[in-house]
Amino acid sequence: MTTAAGATAQKTPLLQHAPLPDMLLQALRRDNEVVDFHALTDTAFRERASEFEILLTNGEDTVTRERMRSLPALKLIANFGVGYDGIDVQTAAELGVRVTNTPDVLTDDVADLALGLLLGASRQIPAAQGFLESGAWAGGGFAWTRRVSGSRLGIVGMGRIGEAVARRASAFDMAIRYFSRRAKPGVGEGYEPSLMALATWADALVVCLPGGGETKGLVDAKVLQALGPRGILVNVGRGSVVDEDALIRTLHAGELGGAGLDVFASEPHVPQELQGLPNVVLTPHIGSATWQTRLAMSTLVVENITAFQQGLPLVTPAA
């Protein structure tokens, strides 16, 4: 940064704690010095720890109590992503550290992918392509699959993404019901306070829940069995919400019809048992990964940091 007098002002150091897109880093570097936490030696970190007021992270990272306490000047954690279950928000509140995230701008992309995974798993689109490319078509047609249009959709977590999934699903003439902790005012779809009852009713469940202790393992073996041998589970929320071992067991036992998964219990590890199944479609956590959305998310991170630095209200405070 160059001042009116022509002198070069000191740039503000920001601590980058997780991978972030180049376009975001470039935008931040105009007025700040971005310091990669993982490139610092322990000694270098200790020497500089008291310089950082702002920590940059992403939705898949973990920011522990210990990390926050090791940064005595910390005042803001700017998260690139809407989900911030990896941040210990209780400690952040205790220490007076604000947290921002990037809601809304990614909602449509994640909902698009949810519908893609539902169609992909129900109609077995990747398996059908594999069948065609293997030359098997010459020996007869691909096995019949199951219809999506007009079927029953259970949305698990009727937040921003859940509502966007519901809007898309209604264009497929689907009957829609949803589960969350409480009925959402203004939502036309039926509220189902029991996840088991929703799974029993539905032909497909789309999980749009945040991660964290409260939702861990909510979709367990019983829920998957209630969804049943013709049911499809889609997860675009967090991998921790689904009991992955139970998912593998029910899929292999034929107790669940199929799955479309963008998120996994311990990313980037994806159990071998989930791979190579015709009724399972897997994507590597790409819900918000389009150029348009990643640009919008980057802009929102910069806006939050700028607002903080100028003493203005945060644009999208998460906690």
66 is annotated as an active-site residue: no
Residue of the chain from 86, 239, 258, 287 that contacts ligand NAP (CB under 6 A): 287
Does residue number 181 form part of the binding site for ligand NAP (CB under 6 A)?
yes
Residue of the chain from 228, 273, 285, 309 that contacts ligand NAP (CB under 6 A): 285
Q: How many residues bind ligand NAP (CB under 6 A)?
A: 29
Residue of the chain from 33, 47, 173, 214 that contacts ligand NAP (CB under 6 A): 214
Residue of the chain from 28, 71, 110, 127 that contacts ligand NAP (CB under 6 A): 110
CB of 310 to ligand NAP, least distance (A): 26
Residue 38 has which token pair? 């993982």
Does residue number 209 form part of the binding site for ligand NAP (CB under 6 A)?
yes
DSSP for 14-77, please give it.
Answer: EEE-S---HHHHHHHHTTEEEEEGGGS-HHHHHHHGGG-SEEEEETT--B-HHHHHT-TT--EE
Does residue number 257 form part of the binding site for ligand NAP (CB under 6 A)?
no
Residue of the chain from 14, 27, 256, 263 that contacts ligand NAP (CB under 6 A): 263
Which residue stretch of 34-42, 103-111, 244-252, 267-275 sits at the interface with ligand NAP (rule: CB under 6 A)?
A: 103-111
Does residue number 223 form part of the binding site for ligand NAP (CB under 6 A)?
no
Q: What's the DSSP call for residue 103?
A: -
Residue of the chain from 288, 293, 304, 316 that contacts ligand NAP (CB under 6 A): 288
Distance CA 92, CA 308 (A): 16
Site string for ligand NAP, 73-102 (x = CB under 6 A): ---------xx-------------------
Does residue number 30 form part of the binding site for ligand NAP (CB under 6 A)?
no
Closest CA relative to residue 106, chosen from 295, 303, 319: 295
Residue of the chain from 56, 106, 219, 247 that contacts ligand NAP (CB under 6 A): 106
238 is annotated as an active-site residue: yes
Of the residues 98, 123, 168, 238, only one is catalytic, namely: 238
Who contacts 144 (Cβ-Cβ below 8 Å, separation ≥6)? none
Which residue stretch of 34-42, 105-113, 264-272, 295-303 sits at the interface with ligand NAP (rule: CB under 6 A)?
A: 105-113
What do you get for the CA distance between the two ends of the chain, in Å? 31
Residue of the chain from 56, 105, 148, 161 that contacts ligand NAP (CB under 6 A): 161
Distance CA 14, CA 78 (A): 10
List of E strands, 158-313? 175-179, 190-191, 204-207, 232-235, 258-261, 280-282
Does residue number 262 form part of the binding site for ligand NAP (CB under 6 A)?
yes
Residue with tokens 């479609």: 281
Does residue number 120 form part of the binding site for ligand NAP (CB under 6 A)?
no
Residue 159 has which token pair? 């937040």
Closest CA relative to residue 80, chosen from 34, 139, 111, 138: 34
Cα–Cα distances in angstroms (integers) from residue 253 to residues 87, 225, 229, 231, in the given order: 36, 10, 9, 13
Backbone phi and psi for residue 181, each to the nearest 5 degrees, phi listed first: -70, -30
Of the residues 33, 47, 94, 267, only one is catalytic, namely: 267
244 is annotated as an active-site residue: no
Residue type for position 91 = T
The residues assigned a catalytic role are 238, 267, 285
Site for ligand NAP, rule CB under 6 A = 82-83, 103, 106-107, 110, 157-162, 180-182, 208-211, 214-215, 236-238, 262-263, 285, 287-288
